[in-house]
Amino acid sequence: SKKPYRWQRVLLKVSGEALAGDHTENIDPKITMAIAREVASVTKLGVEVAIVVGGGNIFRGASWAGCSGLDRSSADYIGMLATVMNAIFLQATMESIGIPTRVQTAFRMSEVAEPYIRRRAVRHLEKGRVVIFAAGTGNPFFTTDTAAALRCAEINAEVVLKATNVDGVYDADPRHNPNARLLETVSYHEVTTRDLSVMDMTAITLCQENNIPVVVFNLQKPGNIAKAIVGEKVGTFIGC
């Protein structure tokens, strides 16, 4: 039978920065609500949605490491905890509009959320629940982009949809170069060799090694999340 949508199961990566939007607080509730509404519109169509949330709006391990004697691992654990706060905020928002949602954390916080169990996550998705993966990979020295690539591969999702505050990948930095062009498609090779700053190297090579395409798009444009999830053309497509 012909698939009605391009993607059947997707991994949506929402960075902490995207959750903050232009808000002065760490999280803009208008953005979490927009995410909830758009995700609801596609789960109704039968597309399975898993989400990895970042934590950069609250705490970034790498930028704190070194300050005040904080070692990198400790800083990164704080960063991972930050992603849990975002995950619970997003879950509460989704459930407020009736979307069944489960949070799974990479390390145990059983009073707060389920521990990550791959088969259980897949089962939730099959039942039409949205699964939010929190605490990154559970390891310091990694990023939530790498967690997105890893979970995507683990649950056999077809694509990483990276929601950001920019329209996609440019051939130069649009903030400094007025002639910067938005690229429609880019190869993994170009991303790594031209230093296009899409994702860290660990994340992008994990996608490449597992043939996982990545779509980078702007979450602030209304309708974009839903478009990306159903596979409409939006932002930049990274693959091949």
Interacting residue ranges for ligand UDP, rule: CB under 6 A: 15-17, 54-56, 60-62, 75-76, 79-80, 82-83, 136-137, 139-140, 142-147
Nearer to ligand UDP, 108 or 127 (CB): 108
- Rounded to the nearest whole angstrom, what is the least distance from the CB of residue 188 to ligand UDP in the complex? 20
Nearer to ligand UDP, 24 or 179 (CB): 24
- Rounded to the nearest whole angstrom, what is the least distance from the CB of residue 127 to ligand UDP in the complex? 27
- Rounded to the nearest whole angstrom, what is the least distance from the CB of residue 197 to ligand UDP in the complex? 12
Nearer to ligand UDP, 118 or 189 (CB): 118
The radius of gyration of the chain's CA atoms, rounded to the nearest angstrom, is 17
Each as own residue / partner, the long-range contacts of residues 69-75 (CB below 8 Å, 24 or more positions apart, any chain) are 72/140, 72/141, 73/140, 73/141, 75/140
Nearer to ligand UDP, 20 or 47 (CB): 20
What strand order describes the sheet that includes 9-14?
Answer: 114-115, 101-105, 130-134, 48-53, 9-14, 159-164, 214-218, 236-238, 185-186
Please say whether the beta carbons of 202 and 142 come within 8 A.
yes
- Rounded to the nearest whole angstrom, what is the least distance from the CB of residue 108 to ligand UDP in the complex? 15
For ligand UDP, which residue has the nearest CB? 54
